[in-house]
Amino acid sequence: MRVNQYENGVVIAAASFFGQEGDEIAQQETADKMQELLSDIVFYKHKVALRALGTENNPTQLDGVTVTGTSGGDGGAGSLASGISDAKKLFKNATMTVKNWEKVEEMIKKIKNDCMGGELFKSLESSFGINQINIQFAPGTKSTFDWNGNNRTITLGTGADSDSFLHEMLHAYQSTSDGGNATTATFEKALINNEIESRYAEYTYWKRHPDVVSIHGDWTGNEVGRSIRELNRYVTPKGTIVTGISNDALDSYLFAGNNSPQALLENVGSIYRDKNGKSRYDYSRVGVDNFKNINKLSKKC
Ligand SMILES: [Zn+2]
């Protein structure tokens, strides 16, 4: 690909493609690839426009594709890809396809329109700055957040909806909290507390957005889901304690007995115990303190 010029906020680049004149699939593939390459240097919204250069009578010029990238604005006619601006503020992935970036952007749009999600996005933006969280897709519905040193990665299941994305973004937020003193060690020690908070946030988001298809169905299909849903008897969607409920009662619900969210999560995955078999539940977090991140982010709910 050749970047020809940069004028008035517009990048003009050209590439040839291996296709016949009028081969729209090859043109599209070329344009996708070019947009992907340009996305590293064009940070804001960019638009791709295909232009057939030359005329039928002058075929040597026909196998050209021009990609036009603009900063901001809505782009002009002939745009093939919608703008990807918010996704690229927070996330990075040098090889992700334009289609997947669009998927990420679409979900972020929904999340930003949510009373908690909007605050979450803003807070992540101010704590991480540009392009600091890795993002990728993996087959299936399972999504994860991995934190290793300064490396944070959100893996989204291809079958996941924005509620799962919000869940993983809240983990990223948890990794910056504890008064800014969170470390991978404190995060891991409280892996179950963090998971309960993220799942409860996911549940309350789903309740606010009936169009979202949860991987937990309606949260009644299995014991873990039910135990999270039932938290609404103790904790409000704003992360405050329900009137008349004590922190002791909430703690009993959270970790006492085989049907507590803590015990049920321990059965879900081996990551919820350390190598000595000890539960990764931080008991120093008392009652509603386990929902302090939701509380901080839900003032508008
Ligand atoms: Zn989680």
What separation in Å is there between the alpha carbon of 264 and the centre of ligand 1?
14
Domain shared by 158 and 20, yes or no: no
What separation in Å is there between the alpha carbon of 221 and the centre of ligand 1?
18
Domain shared by 140 and 105, yes or no: yes
* Cβ proximity of 124 and 169 under 8 Å: yes
Which of these three, 48, 83, 118, is where a domain ends? 83
What separation in Å is there between the alpha carbon of 261 and the centre of ligand 1?
13
Which of these three, 59, 83, 107, is where a domain ends? 83
What separation in Å is there between the alpha carbon of 146 and the centre of ligand 1?
10
What separation in Å is there between the alpha carbon of 152 and the centre of ligand 1?
13
Instruction: Answer positive or negative: Cα dihedral of 140, 138, 42, 26.
Output: negative
Which of these three, 83, 112, 144, is where a domain ends? 83
What separation in Å is there between the alpha carbon of 244 and the centre of ligand 1?
29
Tens of each residue's pLDDT in the chain, 301 residues:
666 655 555 556 666 655 666 666 666 666 666 666 665 554 433 444 444 343 333 333 323 344 444 333 333 322 334 578 899 989 999 999 999 999 999 999 999 999 999 999 999 999 887 778 999 999 999 999 999 888 999 999 999 999 999 999 999 999 988 666 788 999 999 999 999 999 999 999 999 999 999 999 999 999 999 999 999 999 999 999 999 999 999 999 999 999 999 999 999 889 999 999 999 999 999 999 999 999 999 999 9
**Virtual CA dihedral for 195, 198, 200, 205, nearest 10 degrees?**
-160
Domain shared by 254 and 194, yes or no: yes
Domain shared by 168 and 40, yes or no: no
Domain shared by 66 and 40, yes or no: yes
Domain count, the chain: 2
* Cβ proximity of 148 and 167 under 8 Å: no
d(CA 57, CA 74): 34
Domain shared by 79 and 98, yes or no: no
Domain shared by 188 and 118, yes or no: yes
Domain shared by 126 and 51, yes or no: no
What separation in Å is there between the alpha carbon of 173 and the centre of ligand 1?
12
What separation in Å is there between the alpha carbon of 184 and the centre of ligand 1?
15
What separation in Å is there between the alpha carbon of 198 and the centre of ligand 1?
6
What separation in Å is there between the alpha carbon of 10 and the centre of ligand 1?
40
What separation in Å is there between the alpha carbon of 120 and the centre of ligand 1?
15
Write phi, then psi, for 99 (nearest 5 degrees). -60, -45
Domain shared by 78 and 100, yes or no: no
Domain shared by 71 and 104, yes or no: no
Which range of residues forms the domain containing residue 182?
Answer: 89-297
Domain shared by 21 and 37, yes or no: yes
Domain shared by 106 and 14, yes or no: no
